[in-house]
Chain A
Amino acid sequence: MTYTRREILETLRMTELENFDVRTVTLGVSLLDCGHPDPKEAARRIYEKLVRLASPMPRAVQETADALGIRVANRRIAVSPVSLIHTRPEPAAFLEIAAAIDRAAAEMGFDFVGGYSALVHAGFTQADRALLDSIPDALSGTSRLCSSVNAGSSRTGLNMDAVRIVAKVLKETAYKTREQGSIGCAKFVVFANAVEDNPFMAGAFHGVGLPEAVIHTGVSGPGVVLDAIRSAGRCDLRALEEAIKRAAFKITRVGELIGRQVAERMGLPFGIVDLSLAPTPQLGDSVGEVLEAMGLERVGACGTTAALALLTDAVKKGGAMATSAVGGLSGAFIPVSEDATMIAAAREGHLSLEKLEAMTSVCSVGLDMVAVPGEVPEDVLAGFIADELAIGIVNHKTTAVRVIPAWGKKVGESVSFGGLLGEAPIQEIRTLSCSGFVGRGGVIPAPITSLRN
């Protein structure tokens, strides 16, 4: 037989029993040629371009998925950072564009569209300021739009002014979407060292160095890794890493396969596979469960950061062998609300925000999908974000914060978003003031390690 019985059954096991799917096929589109001084005209051009390029994609994805026998959970679009699209630099102008992008995505059946973004790691343009001011209205007035801000980089340092604006934006967005558990904040992320080819939300945008349009994929697969760890039994850590690498290899191969075939069907170039393990709130599809299967009583126990370091490294090594085009964030995500085991550990008080912060120094992103009480002061939120971004800036990695200051909610309660965004328990955040520090404003200069030339 061309394939052995075991090979065929194991492959079916991945897709049918271990919740393996391709999390997203993301179409990146440049909108930089759609600008116009009149925002209505810019919005019209954007809508037309999105429909022209993206409308064949849902069908191309479905046909590819059917032919290969694999599920694709989400279809997404990433557009150029919207603050770079030439138009009147006023919040109202950007809101026109937000509405046009959201309408195009909804009409074509896309799940999310990212790129309502500003890159302000070294300062603001007029347009950046206008876009930032418009974010609460943009996120409360749309359903699929995602927004992000790059507030720091290892080459330029941390723009604390941007961080303070982001804290204000978050509070406003939380209030404006208070009827839905402050869901607007779940569609907003602030980065240090944002990447240009990220297929995952909320942080996807189509970077300025990328081609006109491109197909990226992001895989999932904690269930496959979990099974590999359980099958490996009581082995030592090196053997454990080997088992994870093999599973990551398989997962990433499928991501690349889907991406290449969808790109071919659409006549577009294939970009990258983001090999991050993305969990879902579904049982058996949890990164937290993977960490616990490695031998922790609960996520958050001592040893959690070390276990996550091993996992992230193994996923990268296995994944890098499987594709010639690794990109995006590529590591392991730890979004609390999107991961059943993390939710449970946070509820039981085992997984504190401080422990999560430590974990983010070895995983691919950061403090992701954590909810805090709605009354958290703005300066505390700014300090919380600055801490996380500093980890990224100093360690030359991407870090991010996607925090929900859930309006009207207190520690012990929770907010539910449904779908892939899941349910977030409100966690305790230290409210000691840091306004004397973050309130100074300005920029934390780039670390000495930025001088590499």
Chain B
Amino acid sequence: MEREALALAVSEIVLRHFPEGIPSPALEGVVADLVRLLEGAGGGGQERRDVRHVVFTSLGRNRPGIVHAFSEVLARCGVDIVDLNQTLVHGNFAMMMILDPSGASVSFEELRAALKKRGEELGVLVFVQYEDMMRAVNRI
């Protein structure tokens, strides 16, 4: 595997700086960690395409506890937050999350409904959609 070979090469560089050597099990651990790291980073531009992410956007007036309120819903639904971005413009906030629903305990429709309901309680706008449109519009 290319990623493993790369991880091994990196490990060898590390080893050169430890002339007294690292025990073999520790080295395996380092390689495994590096492989995971590289996979997480997308292997240098190669995005993983097997997960169909959900884009969750919320817009509204800023107030404390908003991110927490939504994360609580996501945790309850077993949805993983892959990425989170938040910005403030003139007292309004825009929060964008990329979600991985593959391990979710609820369907997309249920997740969408739960987030919309929480949005209504908080008085903010909520948009939940599969990433398909973002990809279609923004990627060639």
Q: Do A and B bind each other?
A: yes
Q: Given A1-B98, A2-B82, A3-B134 in contact, is the A67-B55 Cβ separation under 8 Å? A: no
The yes or no answer to A411 lying at the interface (CB within 8 A) is no
Please, how many angstroms separate the alpha-carbon atoms of A11 and B139 in the complex? 12
Cβ 8 A contact of A7, one of B108, B132, B138 = B138
Contacts of B47 in A (CB 8 A): 2
The yes or no answer to A432 lying at the interface (CB within 8 A) is no
Please, how many angstroms separate the alpha-carbon atoms of A281 and B85 in the complex? 37
The yes or no answer to B96 lying at the interface (CB within 8 A) is yes
Contacts of A254 in B (CB 8 A): 133, 136-137
Contacts of B59 in A (CB 8 A): 12
Q: Which of B79-105 contact A (CB under 8 A)?
A: 82-83, 85, 87, 94, 96, 98
Contacts of A253 in B (CB 8 A): 136-137
The yes or no answer to B70 lying at the interface (CB within 8 A) is no
The yes or no answer to B36 lying at the interface (CB within 8 A) is no
Contact assessment for B137 and A66 in the assembled complex, using a CB-CB cutoff below 8 Å = no
Cβ 8 A contact of A1, one of B96, B128, B135, B136 = B96
The yes or no answer to A9 lying at the interface (CB within 8 A) is yes
Q: Which of B37-88 contact A (CB under 8 A)?
A: 47, 53, 55, 57, 59, 82-83, 85, 87
Contact assessment for B96 and A8 in the assembled complex, using a CB-CB cutoff below 8 Å = yes
Contact assessment for B130 and A68 in the assembled complex, using a CB-CB cutoff below 8 Å = yes
Contacts of A69 in B (CB 8 A): 55, 127-130, 133
Cβ 8 A contact of A5, one of B85, B128, B137 = B85
Which of the listed residues B55, B131, B136 has the most CB atoms from chain A within 10 Å of its own CB?
B136
Cβ 8 A contact of B94, one of A5, A11, A16, A67 = A5
Please, how many angstroms separate the alpha-carbon atoms of A261 and B132 in the complex? 10
Please, how many angstroms separate the alpha-carbon atoms of A254 and B135 in the complex? 10
The yes or no answer to A196 lying at the interface (CB within 8 A) is no
Contact assessment for B108 and A3 in the assembled complex, using a CB-CB cutoff below 8 Å = no
Please, how many angstroms separate the alpha-carbon atoms of A260 and B83 in the complex? 28
Contact assessment for A8 and B132 in the assembled complex, using a CB-CB cutoff below 8 Å = no
Tell me how many residues of B have a C-beta within 8 Å of chain A: 27
Cβ 8 A contact of A8, one of B55, B82, B108 = B55
Interface size class of A (residues with CB under 8 A): 20 to 34
Q: Given A2-B83, A5-B87 in contact, is the A257-B53 Cβ separation under 8 Å? A: no
Contact assessment for A68 and B133 in the assembled complex, using a CB-CB cutoff below 8 Å = yes
Smallest CB–CB gap between B113 and chain A, Å? 10
Cβ 8 A contact of A3, one of B87, B98, B109, B130 = B98
Smallest CB–CB gap between A253 and chain B, Å? 4
The yes or no answer to A358 lying at the interface (CB within 8 A) is no
Contact assessment for B133 and A3 in the assembled complex, using a CB-CB cutoff below 8 Å = no
Contacts of B3 in A (CB 8 A): none
Cβ 8 A contact of B133, one of A1, A5, A70 = A70
Smallest CB–CB gap between A217 and chain B, Å? 13
Contact assessment for B55 and A3 in the assembled complex, using a CB-CB cutoff below 8 Å = yes
The yes or no answer to A410 lying at the interface (CB within 8 A) is no
Residue of A nearest to B82 (CB): A2
Please, how many angstroms separate the alpha-carbon atoms of A98 and B132 in the complex? 39
Contact assessment for A1 and B57 in the assembled complex, using a CB-CB cutoff below 8 Å = no
Cβ 8 A contact of A2, one of B112, B131, B132 = B131
The yes or no answer to A129 lying at the interface (CB within 8 A) is no
Contact assessment for A8 and B83 in the assembled complex, using a CB-CB cutoff below 8 Å = no
Contacts of A86 in B (CB 8 A): none
Contacts of A14 in B (CB 8 A): 137
Contact assessment for A5 and B127 in the assembled complex, using a CB-CB cutoff below 8 Å = no
The yes or no answer to A256 lying at the interface (CB within 8 A) is yes
The yes or no answer to A250 lying at the interface (CB within 8 A) is yes
Contact assessment for B133 and A11 in the assembled complex, using a CB-CB cutoff below 8 Å = yes
Contact assessment for A2 and B137 in the assembled complex, using a CB-CB cutoff below 8 Å = no
Smallest CB–CB gap between B94 and chain A, Å? 6
Q: Given A67-B108, A69-B127 in contact, is the A1-B85 Cβ separation under 8 Å? A: yes
Residue of B nearest to A1 (CB): B83
Contacts of B128 in A (CB 8 A): 69
Smallest CB–CB gap between B133 and chain A, Å? 5
Contacts of A68 in B (CB 8 A): 129-130, 132-133
Residue of A nearest to B53 (CB): A2
13 A-B pairs with C-beta separation under 8 A: A1-B83, A2-B47, A2-B82, A3-B96, A5-B85, A7-B134, A7-B138, A9-B96, A12-B57, A12-B127, A67-B130, A67-B132, A69-B127
Nearest first, the 9 closest Cβ-Cβ pairs linking A and B are A69-B129, A253-B136, A7-B138, A250-B137, A257-B136, A1-B83, A3-B134, A68-B133, A8-B96
